[in-house]
Chain A
Amino acid sequence: MSALSRSEGLIGIVPILALLLLWQAAVSTGMAPPALLPSPLAVLARFAQNMADPAFLAHAGITLYRLFAGFLIALALGVPLGLLGATNRGVGAVLKPLVRVLAPVPKIALYPALILSLGFGDASKIVLVVADALFPILLATYQGAAMVEPKLVWSARAAGTSRGGTLFKVILPATLPSILTGSRIALVVACIVVFLAEMITSTDGLGYVLVRAVRNFQTVEMFVPLIAISVIGLALNGALALARRRLLAGFPDED
């Protein structure tokens, strides 16, 4: 099984390599002028060079800070709200229609309002990340908690566990797989949103690095922040998969 999945992993490199080769071929044959499309080698070299550049790393650090702050706040809000919404009738009755209305709203459209009330700094960007990352976590938690086998809760209650105790000892662990799935989606969304927000106000962060490159027409520089955010997303995804294996040992892997 593991040998098979390892060879499958190797197969997956083929299209990525093919794409890079095609890109290089388009540049080498002169089909694409280098001013419009730099060669992938030049982009990779610049990326490696930037990884040692403290200024670039500072921008990446700011992006990471906003991403984590927003994601953690969304987690701290979304999980309790989802659990309460699924287990408490009253909370559910208020929460459901609110989520029904707010979830499909494209949050990026709210960003101008956030800028106007919170300013151009970290606060407005973090709140935007919270607004976007909250709903995947909240919905996944709610769905998971709503599907917990009622017999488990009854048995725990019959065995003398208090109401709060069942919430923490039965419902929360049973909901954990859903929470992790929601977190995974929320992390991807957070990557996308924090980058876009930094492009809009463009004072610092990876999104700003892209906008600066566009203004100065440095095509090689444009690709570097995009690679960086992709690497960040992949790393976070990997870290979450690791946490999942730890927390849910014996549970079937999701992919």
Chain B
Amino acid sequence: MSGALLRAGGTLKPGLPPVFACLGLLLVWQLYARTLSVGGIPDALSTVRELPTILGDRESLYDILDSLRRMAIGFAIALALSVPLGLLMGRSRLFAALVNPLLMVSYPVPKAALMPIIMLWLGVGDASKLLVIVLGVSLPIIYHAYQGARAVEEKMLWSASAMGMSGPARLARIVLPAALPEILVGCRTGIVLALITMITSEMIARQSGAGNILFSALDMAQYETVYAMILVISALGILLDVAFEYVRGALVGWSEPRHDLAPIPA
């Protein structure tokens, strides 16, 4: 048993401490709810027991999957637009000077807060939610693609153009791979922001989705559902992060490992 948990060096398997951390947090919650027994706060055990009813219910499961579908589409669109834009900014000083102030002005505006205005134009359906997610995810990816493209070794670009590589080809075959580790840092921030905008947009346009279940349950004082949904959404965030780590390892395992716990979510 302990042999399976330990690696050859006698250290714990890398995936284990976070699992212990999850269990520890649930335990703290359980003790907190039990000892203080504040009204309205269900304990961890009964919340976990509530999970099968939510995930087993066809309608709420469909709602959650619908949220994920929107998030994935919005993220993909944002990626397709932001990466070329960021790379161009990194390679052209003029272009960066042109676009940067606009990005700085829009950074502190909460994109989900645009939802009520966008709803006036595009309705409460998928289109406005997708647009808000795209806006929310784009900025960090643009910023990191820009930083990554700026740091590309000039000599590599000179050699490539000396060998007759055209501008767009240099961007795609040299700048993009070199900036990839940095772009992925932006993507991780983007995933967290996609989740936040997804939930808030669904809270504002109460039509479907995980955010809708969460805040409707809050309004109707179904506290078990509220806490269970918080658990579901948190688990989504953690699972997406773990999945992202795998993708990053596969794509840029060659790049220098960074001294980090996890990249900075903005």
Contact = CB atoms under 8 A, between A and B. Distances in A.
A200 B21 CA distance: 30
A195 interface: yes
Contacts of A103: 241, 261-262, 265
Nearest to A223: B117
B237 A188 contact: no
Contact of B108 (A104, A109, A146, A234): A234
A202 B241 CA distance: 31
Nearest to B229: A109
A147 B259 contact: yes
A37 B119 CA distance: 12
A117 B41 contact: yes
A210 B116 contact: yes
Interface string B218-241: 100001001101100110011011
A97 B203 CA distance: 31
Interface string A185-201: 10011011101100110
Nearest to A198: B113
A252 interface: no
Contacts of A188: 107-108, 266
Interface stretch (B51-59, B75-83, B188-196): B188-196
B227 A12 contact: no
A115 B18 CA distance: 27
A116 B40 contact: yes
A19 interface: yes
Nearest to A107: B196
Contacts of B204: 199
Interface stretch (A69-77, A137-145, A166-174): A137-145
B41 A108 contact: no
Nearest to A16: B102
- Decide if the interface of chain A is mainly helix, strand, loop or mixed: helix
A84 interface: no
B22 interface: yes
Give the interface size bracket for A toward B. Answer: 35 or more
Contact of A99 (B116, B237, B261): B261
A135 B196 CA distance: 15
B216 to A, nearest CB: 11
A95 B21 CA distance: 9
Contacts of B215: 112, 200
Contact of A104 (B98, B112, B191): B191
A232 interface: yes
B17 A106 contact: no
Given A106-B196, A112-B230, A139-B261, A97 B17 contact: yes
Nearest to B236: A106
B120 interface: yes
Contact of A109 (B17, B100, B104, B230): B230
B241 A233 contact: no
A229 B108 contact: yes
Give the interface size bracket for B toward A. Answer: 35 or more
B101 A106 contact: no
B130 interface: no
B8 interface: no
Interface string B177-200: 000000000000001100110011
A113 interface: yes
A234 B104 contact: yes
B99 interface: yes
B211 to A, nearest CB: 8
B91 to A, nearest CB: 15
A185 B199 CA distance: 21
A106 B104 contact: no
Given A112-B226, A196-B110, A96 B102 contact: no
Contacts of B100: 12
A212 B262 CA distance: 38
A214 interface: yes
Interface of B: 17-18, 20-22, 24-25, 38, 40-41, 93-94, 97-102, 104-110, 112-114, 116-117, 120-121, 191-192, 195-196, 199-200, 203-204, 214-215, 217-218, 223, 226-227, 229-230, 233-234, 237-238, 240-241, 258-266
Interface of A: 8-9, 11-16, 19, 36-37, 85, 93, 95-110, 112-113, 115-117, 135-136, 139-140, 142-143, 146-147, 182, 185, 188-189, 191-193, 195-196, 199-200, 207, 210-211, 214, 219, 222-223, 225-226, 229-230, 232-234, 236-237
21 contacts: A95-B261, A96-B17, A97-B18, A101-B238, A102-B21, A103-B262, A104-B241, A104-B262, A104-B265, A105-B238, A106-B237, A108-B199, A108-B200, A109-B230, A115-B218, A188-B107, A195-B110, A199-B204, A219-B120, A225-B113, A226-B114
Given A8-B93, A191-B110, A230-B106, 5 more contacts: A100-B261, A101-B18, A103-B261, A105-B234, A147-B259
